[in-house]
Structure 1
């Protein structure tokens, strides 16, 4: 690399006709709203439904225009198609022009790199959806270094790890009906143990304490987990005190890798407030506050001298289960989780949520940490995966990556999260 109860998981989506953004952790209460998908950004090799991407790439596309919140919207589609698809080759640009965006990859594989310059996020996620793309986060405004796998950024050279810590919400803890051996945390820990010659964690560490919503065993050898169901960004340094629990002073000398999914429950809380009639100023203030919590957390980790032998953080953005349709009833039990309350001004909330996701990328670039594209990769693998009219429709045979709780990954989803984190660590 270069330089809470199960059904109260984090989510944000709208019962409107526009695209939707979601989030993956757990929330105490949630409400429904609408947010955007992504806009078309140039052409590349097409991802074939159930097959290899075909066609050579065209010229790289331009990103979307800036929104009124001073944050622009661009591509947020996924780079994956169906299992076993391969990445397409980016096409050569015209005279004096940039090379085309890469083709969409198969499930488990990112889009191919475009020619004529550094790979961009918009190139990774062009030409994947059958129905095109609609407005979403513009990550390229921060000029991140994108991994060749298109699963996330490539800001850190992660080597020589002595300790691995998992922080965050229920996506990281793991939830039933998925078995503990299939949680991404369990799978990734075993892969990291092999890569860095560490003792793998035992089965108790991989198992969930369903009363407290945490790992049954906080530490097992060089592996620790302080993630918890329902956690929000303030639970890193305040609230739940995840960092204080997992980073006692005698542990700071270890060369450490931190893996986390966090922020979805903050978005769910924001959405509930919007549904309850909060003003735009109140919503913006709340969004800015929890983004600052995330930034403060990264600042804590990357404080010079705190980890004398090195610290590396890889975090995820947030996914949603409606595949851009905003139809909260598409999952049978969504109403039980509170996903049936519309927001008075969904377009205004959409603007805030897009800004939040963009700021996550800004934080990754600011601190030289890394972010995986969970939202983009899961788009099209939700409960509208067989709907040809869905904004994120990828074609027939596209697998679903969410379980019966609506908002948590199923085993296939956990597998893909494992692959994404591992790809970022490996490159």
Structure 2
């Protein structure tokens, strides 16, 4: 029997008991469908993260926050009068103190340090006199922003970006109309009095997966100006404290690890933009692996279905096996015939499962990320993508599982004595 005859015979034999084969294929279908959806989700979101963050951030910067290992902290930390606002209050990281900034500036290969502070605003006034309540995003988050019109603010100028959904407040029909406008920011001092500062709108942003771009992003200079207003009227010494710092490093590629190690020795944590992207991707991949685990359980159950289906087939076709061997078919070819039947079942389940999984993924992606969809406000969001290597791997994995599951019944069929098989009733 030639190879193509074996394949044709295998396809025909799997359809002898249609219901039994169908139920086995359904189990494989469920596993293949789930794996196709989970790998597509992981690929889509990871591609979105790469696309959004590609080229963002200062290539020569490390972003620094205080280091805090919650696993080693038993109860609240003790107050240290020397640290002041630097002490963590239970939020995972505390604040950088003025002494921390001085320490960072003295580290080898550090060229400059920009600090992030919390600035409070009362309102933002548009050119037509409308006043709107809004929080400000962190100035150093500009590296993660998605600009759809204009550009990011110059950190050393009185500039800011505006979210896309503010267009109606500006009476604009397109994001480009907002660029170049001047807004007035009302900032309260320590006793509640409002002072105003002006800032130029240099760009319009759209929300990203990093939760950046949904609020106005001020420049570093504007943030410091507002912070100075916030501190006016404060009696006593207002301790210097910072949320994080952007550290410009000389030849980051060569000195990144040395600077990070030096920061760690000082109890500080340094992250590049690439590190932040990797954190997103690690979370996404972990979730995908968990979901894939459920799919593998379904495939394991399906493998037992294949074993059962083929064992019953061997039992029912005992006389047929005896006749084939009596006519000269070798044990190896009998083994190959029944193994091919298992592979055919695996191919049918995987093709339908992967195909419908991809179709469902792309349809859901289009519905959810459409402009008027639930996730239409996220910049360039893609929930699902085709990963040919992953799809090919899923197909080969299922075929391999099917082959291994079919090897036991195939071996039993190959070992049958032709005379005994012909006598079987």
> TM-score category by the smaller chain?
under 0.3
Identify the structure with the greater strand proportion: 2
Higher RCO (C-alpha 8 Å, min separation 6): 2
Please identify the structure whose Cα radius of gyration is greater.
2
- TM-score, length-scaled by structure 1: 0.22
